[in-house]
Chains A and B, each alone.
Chain A
């Protein structure tokens, strides 16, 4: 049982480059989330999805786009990477959004030079 899997786990980009982070979950969860974690900042919600084909903005959505074409996958895209997007990105999923029990991936460390 893989749970929540993120790829890639590490990536270095140059300013202006684009990339996509993939999150896959095998628990048949309806809700999926992308968070970023920065030193001294805790976790901040970027975007989330409450079902296939739906997405919504979180606390810090600027500079990111997401898609949920399949229930098990949630993609996070950076169209033009900036050094301020250097961070560790976490994907999470939950069976029901109201309980607060999120299942997290191992994180993806992104460095933008």
Chain B
């Protein structure tokens, strides 16, 4: 079974600054996906960024980037130039890649507050 750990229950950052959210995971699989999902106060979750484990290059989506360390089983999210709209819960998630695999395993989340 896979586990996903987010060790920072809450974080805050000043507007326009950079913040890094941590995520570690435990798996015996070699082929998988990792994700960061964002849940704003409105509650609807949206995908922020996705990383495929076989790709060494870190994924980037505009101000969002990841630091994927496969050997260390670490998957952190960096948010640059933080904006007030980035205030949300952020969930790290894992999905095994392969036939019959449909389950996303989520971490417990990190509540990020962007301070004006």
Contact = CB atoms under 8 A, between A and B. Distances in A.
Given A42-B91, A98-B101, A99-B33, A104 B46 contact: yes
A102 interface: yes
Contacts of B106: 42-44
A45 B108 CA distance: 13
8 contacts: A33-B102, A40-B108, A88-B43, A92-B45, A101-B50, A102-B47, A104-B44, A106-B43
Nearest to A3: B44
A43 B47 contact: no
Interface residues of B, number: 23
B56 interface: no
B19 interface: no
B93 interface: yes
Nearest to B34: A100
Interface in A42-66: 42-45, 48, 50, 56, 58-59
Nearest to B4: A42
B101 A97 contact: yes
Contacts of A105: 44
